[in-house]
Amino acid sequence: MPILIQVLINGLSLSAIYVLVALGFTLLFGIMKVVNFAHGGFAMLGGYALYYLYGVYDLPYPVAILGGALLVALGAMILERLVFRWFYHKMFQSMIALLGLNMAIVYGAVMLFEVNEKSIPTAARGILQVAGMVVPYDRLVIMGVALVVLAAFWFFVTHTRHGLAMRAASQDVEIAASQGVNTVFIYKLAFFIAVFMTALAGGLYAQTYALSPFMGERPLMVAFIVVILGGMGSIPGAALGGVLLGFAESFLSTFYGASVSAFLSFGVVIALLIFRPWGLLGKPE
C-alpha cells in the first residue's frame, strides 16, 4: 500500500506539470491554429529564468518561479510581433518556421549559458514521512504551485470576460469577431498566457530533473503526446491527457522501468492516431 500511495503522489506531481506544458501548446493551436515547435525553447527559458532568479540572485521562491515565467512571457511578446503573428491560421507553414525558431532559441542558449547541465536548488528542504510514505517537501511545493496556477487558469477561462472571449475564439474566430470580440487582443492575450504557463512548467520540470539548453525536447514531446491523447485544441482534453500520461508514467516507471513506460506511451499514441485521430475529447474535422 505505501508504494501505491507513493506512485499516486508522483503521478499527481507529474500530471500537474504535464497539464501546464500541454495547455500552453493546445491554447495556441486551439485559437490560432499554430503548431508551436518553439514550445520546448520557451520551457527551457523558463528553467533558466528560475535558475538565475532563485539559484543565483536568491529571490524568494514564489517570486522567482512566477516572476521568471512572467519575464519569459513578456520577452516572447517580441517574437509574437516579429514571427508568430505571420503564421496564425497557417498550420503547416508554422510548423517549419517555428521549428527554425526553436533551434535559434536553443543554440542561442548554448552560446549564452553553455551546454553544461545545471541544478536548481530545492524549493524546500526535508521530507514528509507518513505511514511509510516518503515525499520530499520540494515536490509538494512544485505540485502546489502547478495546481494553484491551473486553478487560476480554470477560473479565468470560465468566469472572466476575456476568458470567455478566448473560448469563443477557439470555437469559431469569425463568429466571435462578428459578435464584437477583439480578436487581435485575444490573440496577444492567449499567446502571453500560453508562454507563461509553458515557461512556468519548464521551471518546475528543470527543478525536478536537470537544466540545460536541450532540456526543452522532453516537454515538447510530452506536449505532443498529451494533446494527441486529449485532442488537438481541446483544453479539457489537454487536462485529461496530462493526468493520464502523468499517472501512467509514474506507475509504469515504478514497476516496469522507464523504457517500458516510454514504449507504451508512444504505442498508445500510435493506436489512438489510427483509431481515433481526433483524440479522446477532440472533435473530428
Domain spans, the chain: 2-275
- What residues contact 264, with CB distance under 8 A and at least 6 apart? 248, 252
31/136 Cα distance (integer angstroms): 38
Max distance between CA atoms of the chain, in angstroms, equals: 59
CATH class of 2-275: mainly alpha
Q: For position 69, what pLDDT does the model report?
A: 96
Q: For position 82, what pLDDT does the model report?
A: 94
Distance between first and last Cα of the chain: 44
What is the distance, to the nearest Å, from the Cα of residue 131 to the centroid of all Cα atoms in its chain? 33
Q: Residue 128: is its pLDDT beyond 80?
A: no
Q: For position 5, what pLDDT does the model report?
A: 74
Q: Mean pLDDT in the chain? A: 87
- Using CA atoms, how far residue 125 sits from 138, 145, 204, 255, in Å, is 7, 16, 16, 27
Mean pLDDT of 104-122: 91
Beta bridge partners of 136: 127
Measured torsion, CA atoms of residues 259, 264, 265, 269, in degrees rounded to the nearest 10: 140
Q: Residue 72: is its pLDDT beyond 90?
A: yes
Question: pLDDT band for position 1 (50/70/90)?
Answer: low
Question: pLDDT band for position 196 (50/70/90)?
Answer: very high
Measured torsion, CA atoms of residues 66, 28, 15, 55, in degrees rounded to the nearest 10: -30
Q: Residue 180: is its pLDDT beyond 90?
A: no
Q: Residue 251: is its pLDDT beyond 70?
A: yes
Selected residue with higher pLDDT from 206 and 132: 206
Question: pLDDT band for position 48 (50/70/90)?
Answer: very high
- Of 234, 233, 221, 219, the C-alpha closest to 269 is 221
